[in-house]
Amino acid sequence: MKTNTVAIIQARMGSSRLPGKMMLPLQGIPVVEWVFRRTKSAQSIQNIVFAIPATADNDVLNNYLTGMGANVFRGNEKDVVERFFLAAKEWNASHIVRICADNPFVTGTEIDHLVKFYFEMDCDYAYNHIPRNNRYPDGMGAEIVSFRILQTIHEEAGVDDHREHIFNYIWANPGKFKILTFDPEDERLAQPDIKLDLDTLQDYEKLCSMNVDIEMTAYEIIEQALLKK
């Protein structure tokens, strides 16, 4: 069966803990560009789409993304499930890799390992973006589902928490979905106590203090993170 695996990057300017973080510079390059360029290095992805809210405060983000040549889908700010579902539908995705735009060090090789694992294991949902039942650092990987599973979530998820946090419905129904994860192929990446995502000003200061480059491999970034522990 021919697949069309689309990376959908969830991004927005509004953040209660760190407003405007998408456009904050990291080594002189906005965080959102880090995410875009590092996702582009994945070999298993056929297309990349940013799913951002259709609100005025996100116009600056939309303009920057389109200026980079990125695909953008704008939708409901609070109903993230609907935003993802409609974006996936518009790009005819057979499978969706969700990437959070507050992960500037997301890495193409680890996205590829995730996609390979997912198709080999025949599961409903696979992930390696957080150290939950695996030994990955926090913020280098992604999540993957089929369009069919995303459609199920869209049709069945009712409570606000399950609409705003796209895969919470899966986690709330473990008996209904086959959920799998795995450890890094490169043992040097097995650092589950390292946090690389961007949630707070303290996170931003730590990431800025790291001697990193946008083309670095996963392990080169881990090396820098270990120096800051």
| Other CB atoms within 10 Å distance of the CB of residue 159 | 10
Beta bridge partners of 47: 6
Predicted local confidence at residue 15, as pLDDT: 86
**25-81 per-position pLDDT tens digit:** 999 999 999 999 999 999 999 999 999 999 999 999 999 999 999 999 999 999 999
CATH code, domain with 209? 3.90.550.10
Domain count, the chain: 1
pLDDT tens across 174-200, in order? 999 999 999 999 999 999 999 999 999
> Which is nearest to 103 in space by CA: 219, 218, 198, 9?
198
Whole-model pTM: value is 0.97
**Chain-centroid distance, C-alpha 221:** 17
Put residue 92 in one of left, alpha, beta given phi > 0 → left and psi -120 to 50 → alpha: left
| Local confidence band at 1 (pLDDT 50, 70, 90 cut-offs) | low
Q: What is the mean pLDDT of residues 8-16?
A: 94
* pLDDT band, residue 2 (cuts 50/70/90): confident
Domain of 157, in residue numbers: 5-227
